[in-house]
Amino acid sequence: MSKYLNNPEYLFNILTMLVKKYGGKIVITEEDMNNISKGDLIGMYYEPETKSLILKEVDQKDMLKATNLVNDKIDEEYDN
């Protein structure tokens, strides 16, 4: 797992950025909370060309491909 996703301060900073980006408030309803499950996956990627952090819902079958790509490139500098 990403060293960033294991860092509570980093995750809190992401939440702070999202709240500020969307006008200072994000409302998460009970329905929103009930619409997620353990099988839901979110990927975090850094795009160097745009210098953007991308949070994206990931399909489970695509996650298997991504895991193989990360394992193949274990010596590279970036962390996804």
Distance (Å, rounded) from C-alpha 67 to C-alpha 45?
Answer: 13
Distance (Å, rounded) from C-alpha 22 to C-alpha 17?
Answer: 9
Output the DSSP codes for 12-73: HHHHHHHHHHTTT-----HHHHHT--TT-EEEEEEETTTTEEEEEEE-HHHHHHHHHHHHHT
Question: What's the pLDDT at 75?
Answer: 46
pTM: 0.63
Distance (Å, rounded) from C-alpha 66 to C-alpha 80?
Answer: 9
pLDDT of the chain, 80 residues: tens digit per residue: 567 778 899 999 999 999 999 999 999 999 999 999 988 888 888 899 999 999 999 887 776 665 554 554 444 444 54
Dmax (CA) for the chain in angstroms is: 42
